[in-house]
Amino acid sequence: MASPSIALAPLLFLGALAYAIGLLAARRRGRSWPAVRAACWYAGLAALTAGLAAPDTSFTAHMAGHLLLGMAGPLLLVLGAPGTLAFRALPVRPARRLSRFLAAWPVRVVIHPITALVLDAGGLWLLYTTRLYPAMMHSPLIQLHVPAAGFLLTYAVAGTDPMPRRPSHAVRAVALLVFLAAHGVLAKYLYAHPPAGVPLPDAENGAELMYYGGDLADLALVVLFCWQWYDPARFRVGARRAPQPWHLEATGSSAPGG
């Protein structure tokens, strides 16, 4: 059976290809795109690649991969704003379909901060405190859950892409604080209660890396969230927000950024 890293490699390639196609399509439609956004997207893919390639020779090495897969990579991908790029690249009719998809209630439930919190924090506790941890070494689906849940939580709490009926800052702040607490407590728990088959000294080193390395990623997420909450655009005279993509049908206009 192919290793999880090899099995997930095509998804990373598709992510890189799709973003490049979006950049070219947006350019052909005369819509600019910040280079820093593209740099963040490809840096995120590189972080995921490094996380998948990290050898699972020890729990400490595994935890280094976890920080790249579940925290650093997803944060960079969200900063790449793939949804906004899609709206700039797509013609009006496909953009309307995408806006309808994003506004559908099942999607809104999945991308809600509380749902994302349960999938991410709950998934980590389930993974590291049950027999799922040994299974992770051989399961692409379990490994895929880590970056997917990390991306979902980051997007739900501090996503830069437009979102229909985005929950209030208070709801998102609560979800973020609960995740920070759950991640920190899990690291402390693993320090004294290693996953199945992990020696205690290795568990202590890995848990310390999870705790302090996670703090750095968490700090970046908190800064991003607080910066969005502050929203300097509110204090600019005459500043106007771009129309939201789910208003395309009502206005008949093209996607934002055109």
Q: Where are the domains of the chain?
A: 4-251
Model pLDDT, residue 37:
94
Residues 200, 59: Cα–Cα separation, whole Å: 10
HEC string of 165-202? CCCCHHHHHHHHHHHHHHHHHHHHHHHHCCCCCCCHHH
CA distances from 91 to 143, 184, 239, 253 (A): 35, 44, 26, 10
Residues 221, 216: Cα–Cα separation, whole Å: 9
Q: What is the DSSP string of 50-74?
A: HHHHS--SSHHHHHHHHHIIIIIHH
Model pLDDT, residue 249:
40
Model pLDDT, residue 42:
97
Model pLDDT, residue 44:
96
Instruction: Please list the pLDDT of the chain residue by residue as tens digits (258 residues).
Output: 345 667 788 899 999 999 999 999 999 988 889 999 999 999 999 999 998 887 778 899 989 999 999 999 999 999 999 999 999 998 889 989 988 898 888 999 999 999 999 999 999 999 999 888 887 767 788 888 999 999 999 999 988 887 777 888 899 999 999 999 999 999 999 999 998 888 999 999 999 999 999 989 999 999 988 888 776 454 333 334 444 454 444 334 444 443
